[in-house]
Amino acid sequence: MLNFRKLKKIKGDASFRKFYRNKNNRSIVVYAKKDKVKNLLIYDAVNKILNKNKILAPKLINQNYKNNYIEVEDFGDNTLFKVLKHNKTNKEFF
């Protein structure tokens, strides 16, 4: 079982999922106690569909559905918003 105290909590999305950064193996732990099927299984399934269609999404590293979490690749702190904001050709949109 993962020790969540050793992980750094990070901002997530508007769901019931909580996200933690695991610096030891460069991964993100996605935790969801509520609606495990919707919040973990479907999250992973959507990522697999995106990857299959050559759209970059975090790949599953480890899963422990019994304890309400999955572990996925960590892409770092960059977001699409940050990339677009710093790109000079997109300045007019921000």
Kindly report the number of other CB atoms within 10 A of residue 7's CB atom: 19
Confidence (pLDDT) at 14: 66
Kindly report the number of other CB atoms within 10 A of residue 29's CB atom: 22
The DSSP code for 59 is P
Strand partners, 18: 31
Site of tokens 């997530």: 12
Strand 18-22 with 60-64, pairing: unpaired
Q: What does the pLDDT look like over 35-45, one tens digit per residue?
A: 887 889 988 99
Q: What does the pLDDT look like over 48-90, one tens digit per residue?
A: 999 999 998 999 999 998 899 999 999 887 776 777 777 766 5
* Distance in angstroms (rounded) separating the CA atoms of residues 2 and 25: 12
Domains of the chain: 4-93 (3.30.200)
